[in-house]
Amino acid sequence: MTTRRKLVVGNWKMHGSHAANAELLQGILAARPFAAADVAVCAPFPYLSEVAVTLANSGVAWGAQDVSAHAQGAYTGEVSAAMLQEFGCRFAIVGHSERRAYHGETDQQVADKAQAALSKGLTPIVCVGETLAQREAGETEAVVKRQLSAVIHTLGQCIGEIVVAYEPVWAIGTGRSASPEQAQAVHAVLRAQLAAATARAADMKLLYGGSVKPDNAAILFSQADIDGGLIGGAALKAADFVAIARAAG
């Protein structure tokens, strides 16, 4: 048996402004402490400095929404893990379905990004998930296992140091969430796949993402292999995000 502490991470995506960020962060800080969960926000790159200043020594962590697979060099527009480390980032999201779909990121590129993050002490949050067509074709298990397999093979014995987020593409931003049973079934598949690769699988955090809201968070987080959430739209409202973090208890 293991007692994995819950983790709730807000993914702001391409949202934010100086004023909106300040209001959101102050709302989160005012709700501390979060007794049952670790809490973090992943902000757009330009705002990481102000997030770092606001959240310093608060107990709320922060991270980035992407990271380059390259350490440095002529890669215009890229941001390296070393740069994120300088801003105190603890997490870096890699392989989000929007990156896979809109930027053509492959499973191997996602794995390389996870490796780059780990090399600088960041915890990669590796996202996996199937489209609606893939689910309806009965391909969910094959898709998520393929996506995670590339990361396992690239990281080797370091695989135990990542966080995995299962985000069914058909549930992201649609208001449609996987049922607790559907989400748990996929998380169990991922946990078993990790168990074949590392003795640390039972202690690894597996998050669910996909239209998590205050009214469905508690039942999702109560599932045996769901250790918290990667939260999108609800992470932009302090009251909703705080309620989701509280639901981890």
Catalytic residue among 96, 98, 105, 130: 96
Q: Is residue 103 annotated as a catalytic residue, yes or no?
A: no
Nearest to 61 by CA among 30, 27, 94, 37: 37
Q: Is residue 181 annotated as a catalytic residue, yes or no?
A: no
Residue environment code for 31-63, b if the CB has 16+ CB neighbours within 10 A, otherwise e: beebeebbbbbbbbeebbeebeebbeeeebbbb
Catalytic residue among 98, 105, 130, 167: 167
DSSP 50: H
Classify residue 129 as left (phi > 0), alpha (psi -120 to 50) or beta.
left
Please state whether the peptide bond connecting residue 33 to the residue before it is cis, i.e. omega within 30 degrees of 0: yes
**E strand map for 36-122:** 37-43, 61-64, 91-94
> Which residues are designated catalytic?
96, 167
